[in-house]
Amino acid sequence: MNPELQGRVFERTPGYLVGREKIREFSKAVFSTSPLNFDVEAARAAGYADLVAPPTFSVVVQELTLAQLLSAPDAGIDFSRVVHSDQRFTSTRPIVAGDELTAVLTVSSVKVLAGNALVTAESRIEDTAGEHVVTAVSTLVVRAE
Amino acid sequence: MGIDFSALSVGDVVGEHEFTLSRDSLVRYAGASGDFNPIHYRDDVATSVGLDGVLAHGMLTMGMAVQPIIEWIGDPALIDDYGVRFTRPVLVDPMSGALVQVTAKVGQLDAEAGTARIDIVATAAGATVLGKAQVRVHAPRAADPASADSAAGPGAA
């Protein structure tokens, strides 16, 4: 694992268009029963433009940024040795169907201890107006060989 | 949708749920999330990397564990922050699956700011599987979509 990765900012991901059926599919997968995740009328009655995504849905967009990090040729990360240690979402507003989202990943820290590397990656997710929607932060442990 | 924050006390249980995970749940989550790491559906791969068997995605546990809080609070816009540490894996048996028990309690209250920290305890096979699982929420404000004072919610045209 290359410690010089600390501070690196990756390229903004292409727009991800949040679809209604994707929200329904994801909501079902996380055992949601909230009508706001499934029923457009219920979501509208609650003041939303369309179906609302569950709080951890942004992982779908974050995943695109983590793929950039893991595949960076000079990162030296062996995917099979990566363990997800911490995850956090800090949001300004929920994601709604119809949102088009982009994300920028920043490697906020790399710590190497006894060969194991602890990497904190912060993905800032914005809408087409450039407004902040949610920041997803992952801490990954890359185990020594 | 109104939670009266002034009526809450630290230690109050706001939600509880028992989730039954099967291998089907893991395949469904893999497809929905795009995380196709084979340790979540192939025993041979899981054991070859030194695991006791197929594990649930940590992100699936995280995604489920917040559901009782959403049910309680009603509007997901009231959730500002959600963080967890993955402390122990959830082993999912091919036949019997796994049972994940979730309890959400008020951990901290700031009545003036109208905010609360809800702490989640998630256990499987008698051991906690999430550490520092905390959700920060706020009492309804005029700017929230579900509030009557709000003209337009997020993403409103």
Between B150 and A136, residue with greater pLDDT: A136
B16 in reach of chain A (CB within 8 A): no
* Chain A hits for B61, Cβ within 8 Å: none
Nearest chain B Cα distance for residue A24, angstroms? 9
Whether the pLDDT of residue A83 is over 90: the answer is no
Whether the pLDDT of residue B153 is over 70: the answer is no
- Identify residue A17 by its one-letter amino acid code: L
Q: What is the mean pLDDT of chain A?
A: 94
How far is the C-alpha of B19 from the C-alpha of A64, rounded, in Å? 28
Please compute, for residue A126, the number of CA atoms within 13 A of its CA located in the half-sphere on the CB side: 12
Question: For B91-134, how does the pLDDT look when each residue is reduced to its tens digit (9 = 90+)?
Answer: 999 999 999 999 999 999 998 889 999 999 999 999 999 999 99
Query: How is B46-61 classified by DSSP, letter by letter?
Result: HHHTT-SS-B--HHHH
Report residue A118 as tokens. 């602890």
Chain A residues 16-55 with a CB less than 8 Å from chain B: 22, 25-26, 28-34, 36, 46-50, 52, 54-55
Pinpoint the alpha helices (H) of chain A: 20-29, 35-38, 40-45, 59-71
Question: For A101-121, how does the pLDDT look when each residue is reduced to its tens digit (9 = 90+)?
Answer: 999 999 999 999 888 999 999
Which of B34, B82, B85 has the CB atom closest to A63's CB atom?
B34
How far is the C-alpha of B50 from the C-alpha of B43, rounded, in Å? 11
Quickly count: other Cβ atoms within 10 Å of residue B52's Cβ.
10
User: Taking CB atoms and an 8 Å limit, are B155 and A48 in contact across chains?
Assistant: yes
